[in-house]
Structure 1
Amino acid sequence: MGLGIISAIGKTPLIQLSKFWEDSKFNIFAKLEFLNPGGSIKDRPALNIIHCGLETGQIDSNTVVIESSSGNMAIGLAQACSYFNLSFICVVDSKTTTQNLQLLKLYGAKIDIIEQPDPVTGEFLQARLNRVKTLCNLIPNSFWPNQYGNYLNPEVHHQTMDEIVRDLGEQVDYLFVATSTCGTIRGCGEYCRTHNLKTKVIAVDALGSKISGNEQAERLIPGLGAGIKPEHCKAELIDKFVQVSSLDCVVGCRHLARTETILAGGSAGGIAMAIAKMYSEIPAGSNCVAILPDRGERYLDTVYSDTWVRDKFGEVDNLWKQPIKVLHSNSLVMSSS
């Protein structure tokens, strides 16, 4: 029996997807990270960073934790800080969803909202990071988890990959991971290289993200891609980048919900479509694992809202009303990047 809610973080189930692509020539497995108590994979690094800070004395009962995040890491840190009775200031921006703001308030976080992007880069992320540094200079005994540069972020995902290997009990041929801080992909990639696995690590990135390219495109799905190239992005650990559009994410999510009854977050839809894009490249009999980062309830007003989808993309519901393999054969799915 675990002690407290933090004991439920990790050891998420790995399941086989049998309906997403019927009669697939390879096996597709999903790591259900949205079953962490805070609803996402970010519970893992949030707990690791706070716990290690307490253990080493970097954090004490009077410390104010300050971080930039508008989504899952914010909620993971708010949960951990609430559990350990720590003060937490979360720097968000005007694009943060109402649901996430409500969750942060419920956990007792103080919210600092950035209304304008950074004037130099045009990115909200840089503006949020600048604000974090300002607050840390102003507030005594403050602590910045620095999810984009703190090695405790990727380190905890050695355990994530170990769980996958142990649960599958066979070779993991392909691992599909969404980009953001790149903590997950770095940690899993390091595990694969250290243990001499032949796993091909596939980074699924948003079109318009600075991680895999410089294309100008509006990113509508939070938590996928980034406006900067994070320190954790290590090219030597990544075998291939696959770019997905915001529409890809919507279509993938709707297919997962319709076929597997999995209500997953936006980046999970991008991962699903990345697998579809690479279908012809993956040998028959391969084992492919998709890490599904977060749950879909936080996207009911966007990805799963017919009104929002029509407003952003037009009449596209036909894209998830036919089997995914039909989309692929009709070349309606974008080619892999």
Structure 2
Amino acid sequence: MAAVKPTVGISAAAAISIAVISYFLLSNHSSKLRSKQKNKNSANEILNSKKKKKKEGLVSAIGSTPLVRINSLSDATGCEILGKAEFLNPGGSVKDRVAVKIIEEALASGQLVKGGVVTEGSAGSTAVSLATVAPAYGCKCHVVIPDDAAIEKSQILEALGATVERVRPVSITHRDHFVNIARRRASEATKLAAKQREATVMEANDLAEINHDISWQEECLHTLSTDCKGGFFADQFENLANFRAHYEGTGPEIWDQTGGNLHAFIAAAGTGGTLAGVSHFLKEKDPTVKCYLIDPPGSGLFNKVTRGVMYTREEAEGKRLKNPFDTITEGIGINRLTKNFMMAELDGAYRGTDKEAVEMSRYLLRNDGLFVGSSSAMNCVGAVKLAHALGPGQTIVTILCDSGIRHLSKFYNPQYLSEYGLTPCATGLEFLDPH
């Protein structure tokens, strides 16, 4: 029996080993099966999510804009200078992306309902984009715009069916700054909607009295007076849907279109959404990509990026006695930090001038057939300054925000330009200050 015990011990040990190995093999197999099933479920969820998010109609045509080589600037600098042709969006500008994102997020959160009024204060293209896409979501649009903005913007807005309220330009600290008025209009619309719901049992004259209490200008009352569903203030400067529109859309498109082979990105900022969203995305994909701001006259963002302060105490917005002539570019440049701009990841900044922007717009028209607006021209000024700083062989991307069609009365008006000594006369790129 003594001779048999070791054999029994060995057999038991072997059996235990086999059992343990089998357990781990089966467990590993089961784990792989569960992992595959989980991946399959995740893939299905993503697929279903994409199906749910599939856009139709006008909205489906927004985004996926071409990235074009700007031949004249590329050949002159030895860099590949590429422009994201956002003027090809249905509403004619980069702000179409923002309008869709703002409205969709507001509808999803319940802050906006079908039949509601989207209000916005805008001197740039955001107003036109909101007026373009709002009807696609069954909503109305009310825009408050400074009366020194190009008149064709108001004409376009009215043609799109938006209600336009033109007001005098004042500091953002003033209650009657166009942005602050737009915020009030949304609140008033929401209050009116609540009162109209209560007024279902009221007499017609009672309802008229309610409408009279709302502080809208007479020509604006029709926007709200019939079946108002409430208001929503788009708040393009502080609403981070602006940032997300470019982080989720414009940035990835640029990355894919360049195959990830780009060295730098540069753009101006108004709300800061485009610059922030694109720079944030590109830096995540490749931290070596350099991102820069190009800033127009009168804006404090250049100082903020390069020196850490926006302006001297005397220059602070709200301290000025009047609204000065700072720049003829519209929709870019600002003297306050917005939530969107604070998301930007920047390596530096350049200052552009009105003269450079005007000359650049004519240069691009002559040499490339590109008819661009003031902000697009300023972006191209920045791209060339950056190309000179980085040297030949770099790939630089910028944004062609909108076309010149919205800038005829000012930026492309010879008489207006002559009044400010901005008549274009350059034949090449000699007008550019490299700094």
Partner of 1:137: 187
Partner of 1:333: 432
Note if 1:20 corresponds to 2:73.
yes
Q: TM-score, normalised by structure 2?
A: 0.70
Q: After the TM superposition, which residues 1-337 of structure 1 pair with which residues of structure 2 at under 5 Å, given as runs?
A: 3-118=56-171, 127-140=177-190, 141-158=230-247, 159-213=249-303, 214=311, 218-234=326-342, 237-313=345-421, 316-319=423-426, 322-324=427-429, 327=430, 332-336=431-435
1:37-72, CA deviations, whole angstroms, 9 ceiling, x for partnerless residues? 101000001011111222232211232211111220
Question: Match of 2:177, SS?
Answer: helix
Structure 1, gaps ≥5 residues long: none
Letter in 2 for 1:333: L
Mapped contact 2:276–2:343 kept (Cα < 8 A): no
Distance 1:208 1:137, change over 3 A: same
Distance 1:230 1:156, change over 3 A: same
Distance 1:311 1:156 in 2: 38
Mapped contact 2:275–2:344 kept (Cα < 8 A): no
Distance 1:237 1:200 in 2: 9
Q: Specify which structure has the higher proportion of strand.
A: 1
Q: What is the CA distance between 1:21 and its match in structure 2? A: 4.9
Letter in 2 for 1:47: V
Q: What is the CA distance between 1:138 and its match in structure 2? A: 2.2
Letter in 2 for 1:172: L
Q: What is the CA distance between 1:2 and its match in structure 2? A: 7.2
Mapped contact 2:169–2:178 kept (Cα < 8 A): no
Partner of 2:3: none
Distance 1:280 1:106 in 2: 43
Letter in 1 for 2:183: K
Distance 1:236 1:78 in 2: 27
- Which portions of structure 1, spanning 4 or more consecutive aligned residues, are displaced by more than 4 angstroms? none
Q: What is the CA distance between 1:197 and its match in structure 2? A: 3.9
Question: Match of 2:391, SS?
Answer: coil
Question: Which deviates the most, 108-117 or 257-266?
Answer: 108-117
Question: Match of 1:166, SS?
Answer: helix
Mapped contact 1:27–1:288 kept (Cα < 8 A): yes
Distance 1:262 1:82, change over 3 A: same
Question: Match of 1:40, SS?
Answer: coil
- Indicate the structure (1 or 2) with the bigger Cα radius of gyration: 2
RMSD of aligned Cα (Å):
2.2
1:245-283, CA deviations, whole angstroms, 9 ceiling, x for partnerless residues? 122111111111111110011011112222333343113
Distance 2:156 2:289 in 1: 37
Mapped contact 2:268–2:332 kept (Cα < 8 A): yes
1:169-206, CA deviations, whole angstroms, 9 ceiling, x for partnerless residues? 24210111121100001101110222234211111111
Distance 2:180 2:141 in 1: 17
Question: Which deviates the most, 242-251 or 191-200?
Answer: 191-200
Mapped contact 1:264–1:294 kept (Cα < 8 A): yes
Question: Match of 1:71, SS?
Answer: coil
Question: Match of 2:301, SS?
Answer: coil
1:92-148, CA deviations, whole angstroms, 9 ceiling, x for partnerless residues? 111122211111111211112222413957xx9x71122123223322132111111
Distance 1:317 1:127 in 2: 33
Distance 1:309 1:63, change over 3 A: same
Letter in 2 for 1:15: V
Aligned residues: 324
Question: Match of 2:236, SS?
Answer: coil
Mapped contact 1:71–1:223 kept (Cα < 8 A): yes
Letter in 2 for 1:210: G
Distance 1:150 1:30 in 2: 26
Mapped contact 1:192–1:198 kept (Cα < 8 A): no
Structure 2, gaps ≥5 residues long: 1-53, 191-229, 304-310, 316-323
Distance 1:236 1:134 in 2: 29
Question: Match of 2:119, SS?
Answer: strand
Q: Specify which structure has the higher proportion of helix.
A: 2
Distance 2:409 2:95 in 1: 22
